[in-house]
Amino acid sequence: MKIKDLRPGMRRVNVTGRIVEIGEAVEVMTRNGPAIVASAILEDDTSRIKLSLWNEQISQVKVGDTVKIENGYVSTFRGQKQLNVGFYGKITVIKEE
C-alpha cells in the first residue's frame, strides 16, 4: 500500500517507506502507565505521513532507514493523519542508511 492511499480509520495497514525525520522523544502518561513516544516522518514515492514510535521502536530506527510497517493503523491526532504501529503491529528495518 502507498502512503497517499492511507485514510484515518484504516486497520491492518502494511506500508514501506523511508524515515526522513525523527522528533525528540518525550515521556507521556498513558492508561497503561508511563511511556516514551517520538514522532517520525515516513515517506515513499507518493507522500509523507507522521509515524508514532513508542518505547523500544524509537531506538530501532534512524533517519534514512527504509522500514516496513505491518498490521499498523491510521488515526488522526491534533488534526493530522498519523500512522501507528500499535500493540499488534510490527516495524522492521529492511534497509539501513
Instruction: Give CA–CA dist 77/79, Å, rounded.
Output: 5
**Confidence category of residue 95, pLDDT binned at 50, 70, 90:** confident
- Supply the pLDDT for residue 4: 97
CATH classification code of 3-95: 2.40.50.140
Please compute the mean of the pLDDT values over residues 1-25 and round it to a whole number. Answer: 97
CB neighbour list of residue 10: distance below 8 Å, 6 or more residues apart: 73, 74
**What count of other Cβ atoms lies within 10 Å of the Cβ of residue 68?**
15
- Grid cell 504501529 is found at 85
Helix (H, G, I), strand (E, B) or coil at 85: coil
- Supply the pLDDT for residue 96: 81
**What count of other Cβ atoms lies within 10 Å of the Cβ of residue 54?**
18
- Supply the pLDDT for residue 86: 84
- The pLDDT tens digits for 42-93 are 999 999 999 999 999 999 999 999 999 999 999 998 999 999 998 889 999 9
Does residue 97 have a pLDDT over 80?
A: no
